[in-house]
Amino acid sequence: MVPRRRRHEPEPRPAPRPAAEAAAALERYLAFLRDVRRRSEHTLRNYRTDLTDFLAYAEEQGVPYVDAGRGLGRAYLGALRDARVAEASIKRRATTIRAFYGWLDADGVALGARPGDSILRLRYPKATRRLPRFLSTEEADRLVSAPDGGTAAGLRDRAMLELLYAAGLRVSELAGLDLADVDAVNRLVRVTGKGDRTRVCLFGGPARRALRAYLAEGRPELVRGAQPALFVNRAGGRLSVRSIQAVVRRSGTQAGILRRVHPHLLRHTFATHMLEGEADLRVVQHLLGHSSVDTTQIYTSVTHRQHASLIDAAMRRAREVEARRRRHDAG
């Protein structure tokens, strides 16, 4: 059965492996996603992991992959839940399985599930929606100020942090930026996001000052020869996603922030602070590169929660003042 896994990072089952025919179909599907749909390597790895696990489960149950039905899919998702796999991961796997079989059907593969048991109707269990975490304005200020502005690497790190926070970029988008993508005069950056979709993001004065300092004093000390990348490492090459994650984590520690700090936390912080400043939801959707406004909508729940907390605190203070007044009048 499905082994017990860490909640935040489920791993593929080591055995059994899918049958050769199922594995070949999976490779054709991944090639389609890579060459036609232009999915990222990260997405392809997730698809491979999820589908390999399901196809192995079908093999273990003695069901040929073309005969897998909704009942088998539900049993698999139930086994994942029993193994305490995170609900978001179960949701993703259900969607991935359904997409794979939809592609097989469109590609002319005869699916053999019983009538009424089509795996194309597989749906994921409703997941509990967790609100994004974010930094306070004071924490964000401490974070972007943490790197040493007296070194080339420190200037680079500060510029990266400012841009992550000011423009709400994904870490992969930041790593992929070239010099030609940044317009410091007009405070614009051209970003290539998911699905190779391009959008233009804005950033403010602090990010512009940090970028200009890095370009004038930091980058020339790091770069070697002709290098289009905006952010470079000590060897002069493009800074990797993993390196950027390490910079953000280290800066969080230096800033004395008592929680795990990662690039996506800054993206959450950008969206939350924008909406707290009464930015239009559709504008924030565009700046984040969300294909659906429903994805952006969750940040309004965060701001509503913040407002409710402020109201509750104000009410408590008012009640305390009223209680003191009554005691004074009674005395």
Position 42 scores a pLDDT of: 87
Whether 132 is covered by a domain: the verdict is: no
**pTM of the model as a whole:** 0.58
Position 282 scores a pLDDT of: 75
Whether 165 is covered by a domain: the verdict is: yes
**Does 193 share its domain with 81?**
no
**Does 226 share its domain with 96?**
no
How many independent structural domains does the chain possess?
2
- pLDDT tens, residue by residue, 231-265: 999 999 999 999 999 999 999 999 999 889 999 89
Q: Residue with structure tokens 């407002």?
A: 307
Residue ending a domain, choose from 71, 96, 121: 121
Which CATH number do you get for residue 273? 1.10.443.10
Identify the three-state secondary structure at position 83: coil
**Does 194 share its domain with 219?**
yes
Whether 224 is covered by a domain: the verdict is: yes
Whether 313 is covered by a domain: the verdict is: no
Position 24 scores a pLDDT of: 94
**Does 224 share its domain with 107?**
no
Strand order in the sheet with 188-192: 182-183, 188-192, 198-202
Position 12 scores a pLDDT of: 46
| Long-range Cβ pairs for the range 126-132 (8 Å, 24+) | 127/87, 127/88, 127/90, 127/91, 128/87, 129/298, 131/298, 131/301, 131/302, 131/305, 132/268, 132/271, 132/272, 132/298, 132/299, 132/302
Distance separating alpha carbons of residues 1 and 183, to the nearest angstrom = 54
**Does 109 share its domain with 204?**
no
Distance separating alpha carbons of residues 212 and 207, to the nearest angstrom = 9
Q: Please identify every stretch of the chain with a pLDDT value under 70, giving residue numbers as ranges.
A: 1-17, 125-132, 286, 290-319, 321-323, 331
**Does 115 share its domain with 146?**
no
Rg of the chain over Cα atoms, rounded to whole angstroms, equals 25
Residue ending a domain, choose from 121, 150, 180: 121
- pLDDT tens, residue by residue, 125-162: 655 556 668 888 899 999 999 999 999 999 999 999 99
Position 115 scores a pLDDT of: 86
Whether 249 is covered by a domain: the verdict is: yes
* Residue span of the structural domain in which 51 resides: 20-121
Distance separating alpha carbons of residues 237 and 223, to the nearest angstrom = 7
**Does 110 share its domain with 153?**
no
**Does 102 share its domain with 155?**
no
Q: What letter represents residue 289's amino acid? A: G
**Does 177 share its domain with 270?**
yes
Calculate helix-pair angle for 87-106, 70-82, nearest 10 degrees: 160
**Does 158 share its domain with 220?**
yes
Q: Which residues are catalytic?
A: 170, 194, 264, 267, 290, 299
Q: 172: how many CB neighbours lie within 10 A of its CB? A: 17
Position 134 scores a pLDDT of: 80
Whether 155 is covered by a domain: the verdict is: yes
**Does 71 share its domain with 147?**
no
Calculate helix-pair angle for 263-276, 293-330, nearest 10 degrees: 60
**Does 150 share its domain with 264?**
yes
Find the helix or strand (DSSP H, E) in which 199 lies: strand 198-202
Residue ending a domain, choose from 89, 121, 153: 121
